[in-house]
Structure 1
Amino acid sequence: MKILLVGAGLSGAVIGRQLAEAGHDCRIIDSRPHIGGNCHTERDPETGVLLHLYGPHIFHTDDEGVWDYVNRFAEFVPFQNRVKTTSQGAVYSLPVNLHTINQFFGKTLRPDEARAFIESRADRSIAEPQSFEEQALRFVGPELYEAFFKGYTEKQWGCSPRELPASILKRLPLRFNYDDNYFFHRFQGMPRAGYTAMVAAILDHPRISVELETPYRPEMAAQADHLFWSGPLDGFFDYSLGRLGYRTLDFERFTYQGDYQGCAVMNYGDRDVPWTRITEHKHFSPWESHEGSTCYREYSRAAGPGDIPYYPIRLVEEKSLLAQYVELAQAQKAVTFVGRLGTYRYLDMDVTIREALDTAGVFLGAEKAGEAIPAFVMPPL
């Protein structure tokens, strides 16, 4: 079959590779001048540092199958993300752990003592937290909430934490030991040559053709037996019902001779600091040595037409509009919507790859059985 895949990021590359290995001809197009989507990496010509052009991407997973898959196409070097935060004139480690608690409150608590101490600061009148703020007040108390979560969240999402669901904070751990590894997955690492080199290896197959700086046009679908769409779900329908809400990021690049901040990621929790964090990219490749350094200040704002969509908002209004777009998508023939943008969900890289592998499997199974593949293998709602 002739397969058209829109988007040369992880979803398009992995699905294309799986289908190409099964004997299908895969044409992959992307409107950008590079492959890799938002995990694109390239060398800074000024400092030689390997840059994550669309913000940091650290690979972490408990999915051994996905870990084996990426290691088939790249050499992964062990890497643990150790995030710091500047708040109220001091630097702390994240996620909030025993060191953070003792440092912030000026104590020397043991784990059991710290657990009891935090519980004593928590608002125990909140039985079932509904909002981000209620979740924070119930589980970490007002002091830690104000210092580490409130200002940062207001900057990141552009709204009060009272308006955000509690589920956002539930993803952030609170540790009563000195473990400052930001993630807790078994497998964590960075591809030595960068993510773009890894995606290039995935795409390196005789049945795959890649066309960059090639925006999708509806007439292209007529030349294919099936279309996989990893662009914005609302974009497929030319935003006919309105635009789904996203946050986007602006990056302010600067260089420094030496080591600017001593870590890869420094968050800024204070509301009066306009950026959310500063990333120093040579620390994402600690096996390399560079005298110069390339850093980025990140600013979050609402995405408009022409902006790169990063984080789906998914509040009540957006979910209502999403349901309407899902209904339109399910009426399409021979189109499957995939990935972060195609399903309007925030996905880590390992989940994106797992879903791409599963989607390719569903497609091949349906083809063999003579059945139609669904518009969504992973339902957005």
Structure 2
Amino acid sequence: MTLLIVGAGLSGAVIARKSAEKGYYCRVIDSRPHIAGNCHTQRDAGTGVMMHVYGPHIFHTDDADVWAYANRFAEFVPFLNRVKTTAQGAVYSLPVNLHTINQFFGRTMGPDEARAFIDSKADRSIENPRTFEEQALRFVGRELYEAFFKGYTEKQWGCLPSELPASILKRLPLRFNYDDNYFAHRFQGIPRDGYTAMVSAILDHPRITVELETAYNPAMAEAADHVFWSGPLDGFFDYRLGRLGYRTLDFERFTHDGDYQGCAVMNYGDPDVPWTRITEHKHFSPWENHQGSICYREYSRPAGDEDIPYYPIRLVKEKSLLARYVDLARAQDKTTFVGRLGTYRYLDMDVTIREALDTAAAFVASQTGGQAMPAFMVEP
């Protein structure tokens, strides 16, 4: 059997590799001139810095099997993402932790005292928070909310926090110790040679062919026994019902001779600063030494027709349109929609790999058992 896999990012590469190892021939196509999707990395010719071309990617997971799988194809170097933020004329540590709290309020509190102090700041009159703003006010109080969450959120999502669901903030931790590791997972690291080298190794199999700068057309599907689509869900249907909403990112690249900010990620919480953060890419490879530096200022805005989609909006209007596209997808024959774009969900890299492995295993099982492969392995 021959499988057509649209997209040479993590989803497509992992499905192709798992399927090829089970004896299937896999044709992988991608409209971009490179593999690895948005986790594509490449070295800057002038400085030698390994750049995260579409923004920073730190691999973090509690899934031991996924961690082992990724380490089959790359040497991972331990990396802890210690994010800083510039807000109200000072630099603080994120996530909000005991150091942040003490510094912001000019105190020297211990964990128990700080917990009680923040509890006194929280707005307990909000019993059932429905919006991002209500959740923040109940969670951390107005001062911390306005310093660290309000302005950044407005820039990132292009709307008021009072218009966003409370669920977005529930993913942000508040710590009453001095732990400034942005993630709390057991396994954290970055491939020594970058993500593109890792994806290249995944795709390196005699039953896999890769065609770049190749756009999908329906005739390709006719020649395949099954299609795995990791492109935009609405794009598969040529946007016939309209476009699903995304936020996109613009990167303003600049160079610096030396060390520009002393950390990999510096957020900017003040609303009058137009960018959301600055990333300094040599700090994502602290095991290397470079005199020159490559930095990106990031700006968030609504995605246009020709923009790269980054963050699905998933508010009421988008969810309604999504449901209609899901119905169309389920009516398709021999096509499975995968990945963050194919299922219109924000996915970390470890979840992407896990779902791709499970999808490929389910496909093999469906062929053995003579069952139809579903359009979605995970409910969008």
Q: TM-score, normalised by structure 1?
A: 1.00
AA in 1 matched with 2:80? Q
Q: Following the alignment from structure 2 to structure 1, what is the Cα–Cα distance between the partners of residues 150 and 47?
A: 35
Partner secondary structure for residue 28 of structure 2: strand
CA distance in 1 between counterparts of 2:64 and 2:326 reads 31
1:266 Cα deviation from its structure 2 partner:
0.1
1:53 aligns with 2:49: no
Q: Deviations over 1:247-273 (max 9, x none)?
A: 000000000000000000000000000
Equivalent residue for 1:22?
Answer: 22
Q: Aligned with 2:287: secondary structure?
A: coil
2:35 pairs with 1:35: yes
Aligned to 1:175: 175
- Residues in 1 aligned to 2:2 and 2:176: alpha-carbon distance in whole angstroms: 54
Q: Deviations over 1:312-369 (max 9, x none)?
A: 0000100000000000000000000000000000000000000000001110110100
CA–CA separation in structure 2 for the residues paired with 1:136 and 1:47:
41
Map of 1:338 onto structure 2: 338
Offset, 1:128: 1.0
Work out the CA distance in 2 between the residues paired with 1:173 and 1:360.
34
Query: What is the letter of the counterpart of residue 366 of structure 2?
Result: A
Shift of 1:35: 0.2
Determine the C-alpha separation between the residues in 2 that align with 1:219 and 1:154.
Answer: 43
In the alignment, residue 322 of structure 1 is paired with which amino acid? L
Asked if 1:275 is matched to 2:275, the reply is: yes
SS at match of 1:238: coil
Q: For 1:343 and 1:363, how far apart are their aligned partners in 2?
A: 17
Q: Cα offset for 1:62?
A: 0.1
Cross-structure match for 2:211? 211
Q: Name the residue aligned to 1:249.
A: 249
1:350 match: 350
- Within 2, Cα distance between the matches of 1:12 and 1:160? 36
Question: 2:240 aligns to what?
Answer: 240
* Count of residue pairs the alignment pairs up: 380
* Aligned mates of 1:39, 1:303 — CA distance in 2: 19
Aligned counterparts of 1:59 and 1:341: Cα–Cα separation in 2: 19
State the secondary structure of the residue aligned to 1:220.
helix
Calculate percent identity across the aligned residue pairs: 80
1:191-236 deviation line (CA, Å, top 9, x unaligned): 0000000000000000000000001011110010000000000000
Structure 1 letter corresponding to 2:258: G
1:106-140 residue CA offsets vs partner (Å, 9 max, x unmatched): 00010000000001000000111111000100010
After the TM superposition, which residues 214-233 of structure 1 pair with which residues of structure 2 at under 5 Å, given as runs?
A: 214-233=214-233
Residue deviations 1:52-100 (CA, integer Å, cap 9, x gap): 0000000000000000000000000000000000000000000000000
Are residue 202 (structure 1) and residue 202 (structure 2) matched?
A: yes
In 2, Cα distance between the equivalents of 1:167 and 1:193? 36
Match of 1:142 in 2: 142
Cα distance in 1 between the residues matched to 2:168 and 2:352: 19
Tell me whether 1:69 sits opposite 2:69 in the alignment.
yes
Task: Provide the secondary structure at the position in 1 that maps to 2:136.
Answer: helix
Could you list the runs of 5+ residues in structure 2 that have no partner in the other structure? none
**Correspondence for 2:110:** 110
The one-letter code of the counterpart of 1:191 is P
Counterpart CA distance in 2 for 1:253 and 1:45 is 14
- The one-letter code matched in structure 2 to 1:317 is K
- Rounded to whole Å, the distance in 1 between the matches of 2:171 and 2:215 is 35
* Corresponding position: 1:322 with 2:322: yes
Give the gaps of 5 or more residues in structure 1: none
2: CA distance between counterparts of 1:58 and 1:169?
20
Which residue of 2 is the match for residue 161 of structure 1?
Answer: 161
Alignment of 1:85-124 (within 5 A): 85-124=85-124
Distance 1:268 1:352 in 2: 29
Name the SS for the 1:202 alignment partner: helix
TM-score (norm 2): 1.00
Instruction: Report how far residue 46 of structure 1 moved.
Output: 1.4
Letter in 1 for 2:206: P
